[in-house]
Chains A and B, each alone.
Chain A
């Protein structure tokens, strides 16, 4: 049983396209996150959702839009993809204030 799953694992696309990454957690957690890990492995939080409500929105271009249809899912939609969006995107979940985050396997996005 995968605790936090993401699809797809790899995504290769052209500049200007729109793409989505899906995330699901079966841990019953209320809080979900999106992180971006760049080529230097720097891990930076993008969004945090608590029970479908946006809590944290770091300085991320508005081309990135998270959507949480229910508390087990947090999808990331990216419009007008740019070369600089190439990175590995991780979804994570935790209980609020419980602190331990469980990460998904990541989605490697390559923009050509």
Chain B
């Protein structure tokens, strides 16, 4: 059973566009929601993360929106650049640090 559902599977945008990646979860015990960015041939790297006590978090061009009642969260990339082309994973954790559940990933392509 997929604990974290992610969509879309792939996304193509023009440079400057705002790609949005969505994730949904069921387990209300989750209290930490990170996004990871993975380039080909590399390991995933933490991009930005949020906890349920806030509805939005922004770091540079990356913003997480969080809807606790709907159990959904999303990643927005403002003014996207070709260098943002990568696979993005959402994840959820119950805060123990012992278990993470990853979404299925979104392959983002930003066209120059």
Contacts and interface: CB of A to CB of B under 8 A. Distances in A.
Interface of A: 4, 31, 33, 40-45, 48, 50, 55-56, 90, 92, 94-106
Nearest to B87: A41
B98 A41 contact: no
B52 interface: no
Nearest to A92: B43
Interface stretch (B11-19, B64-72, B77-85, B89-97): B89-97
Contacts of A56: 98-99
Interface of B: 32, 34, 36, 38, 41-46, 49, 87, 89, 93, 95-102, 104-105, 107
Contacts of B95: 97, 99
Contacts of A42: 102, 104-105
B38 to A, nearest CB: 8
A89 B72 CA distance: 29
Contacts of B101: 45
Question: Could you say which of B42, B43, B101 has the most chain A C-beta atoms within 10 Å of its C-beta?
Answer: B43
A43 B105 contact: yes
Contacts of A98: 97
Contact of B97 (A40, A44, A99, A105): A99
B89 A43 contact: yes
Given A41-B87, A41-B105, A43-B105, A100 B99 contact: no
A31 B97 contact: yes
A103 to B, nearest CB: 3
A43 B103 CA distance: 8
Per CB-CB distance, the 4 closest pairs between chain A and chain B, nearest first, are A103-B43, A96-B97, A97-B97, A43-B102
Contacts of B89: 43
Contacts of A96: 96-98
A84 B28 CA distance: 34
A45 B107 CA distance: 20
